[in-house]
Structure 1
Amino acid sequence: MRAVKTVISAAGNLKRENPDMNELICLRAIQDVNVPKFLQDDLKLFNGIVSDLFPTIKEKPIDYGTLEESIRNVCAKKNLKDVDGYITKCIQLYETTVVRHGLMLVGPSGSGKTKVSVLQVSVTYVLNPKSITMGQLYGEFDLLTHEWTDGILSSLIRGGAASMDEEKKWYMFDGPVDAVWIENMNTVLDDNKKLCLSSGEIIKLRDVQDLAVASPATVSRCGMVYLESSILGLTPFTECWLKKVPEPLKPYSEQLNVLFTRFLQVNGKTA
């Protein structure tokens, strides 16, 4: 039901933006919600199913205009290679935020998860939930004094909820998903957007790598964006690194690039 609701929400947004659009709205909504979480091999099967469901519709390339231009400009400022597949993932992340307030960036190391997430310009709080206890994360009672001590996340969300500005706040858990801490986030990720603490307090949010241990209840609440290392490959990493090498090494940049290509690239693939 959450998946159906998300597709309907996406279709509603598209209809409001394009009142004269026909059944293409349904197709666009299904694609916007599902394509970001598919692997390259899955996309072939998905496109085959979609072509059977909508045989008469011919899609036109979507022009993201200012959004794509802005992403490429930010890439240039941050010394990142604006690979087309990477830009597509950035756009997919944006589209997912339109219909979901809880997101998961999934994929192997080197696929660009961190850099995709930093392209958003807003207030971001980054923490590793596996580096602290559940009490330090969400808050806990002292067993001796029965006094409540706030956790890091509860303090951050309380401050964000009380903030009067309209700037979007991002609470980023940068680390592996754990069955313990993620289950406590279910009420936040749900449509009611409430963090329920063991003290009995409920904080309402303002309206503005590996998932093996995450339950279907959690995954269904999140918008998923999957990044594959094949999208980037090795070349963007070497090109960006060579631009920032120390001054004494710059005369040898071309030689270093040749060595990277010779020893780390095999038939166009990373060794």
Structure 2
Amino acid sequence: MKIKYLLLAAVAFMMLHSCKVLSPKQYKALVAGRDSLQNRTTNLETELARLQGDTARLHREIADLQRNIADLQKNYNTLNKNYNATSSQVNQLSGDLQKREARLREVEDILRKRDEAANALRDKLQKALLGFQQSGLTVDIRNGKVYVSLTDKLLFPSGSIVIDEKGKQALKQLAGVMNKETDINMAVEGHTDNQRVVNLGQIKDNWDLSVLRATSVTRYLTEVEKVDPQRLTATGKGETQPIDPANTAEARARNRRIEIVLTPKLDELYNLINTK
């Protein structure tokens, strides 16, 4: 509107300062020029309003884009931080996994050696004790340990804790192998059946009987056959660990036994397990 008023004022000024009288034709031309100028002015004002609107809209869009850029930058920084943290954690876990896998391989190697040693020991004992296997002696492997099982009739007279001559011969053969295999520990376990002990003097029950028989075997191995006592332990299990649960004379006979549990020394394994 300011442009329009300025143009009209300019035309009026020119007319007032002109001393020349206009002819009708000149007047019409002047009016036509004025109208043309007004139209152009109107168009310019319309264009100006449109440009101002576009400018305001572009400013808003630029502001929105800047906010979006700021949000994206913030998200990027957060993601980058999380990525770095996750990457560090992954690297740490990967390192821990490699250590655990190496540790597992060490344990597997030691256990493999243990099983190989147990198998070799079983073979030696089976050969050394071959003559007693028909009399109730067995040798087998359970959980990496060698079990030498001797029925009570092979070692003791009925109801006795004193080893007889046949039992001493079996233990002598066993000790001959064990004195050569110094890396083997031994646990002597006494076992009974579930029949109540009667008329055995100072022996009160199956616990007493199992302990005293295990102690008798341990004493014979250490005092007579000179097995290192630091390698032996003696325990009584009573009737708590039957190998045959049947309620028959044959099952009870199998349950009355001495088991000598032979365990390879696993210092390497224990040290490895206790190492952090």
Q: Same fold (TM over 0.5)?
A: no
The structure whose Rg is larger is: 2
- TM bin, normalised by shorter chain, reads under 0.3
TM-score (norm 2): 0.22
Higher helix share: 2
Higher relative contact order (CA 8 A, sep 6+): 1
TM-score (norm 1): 0.22
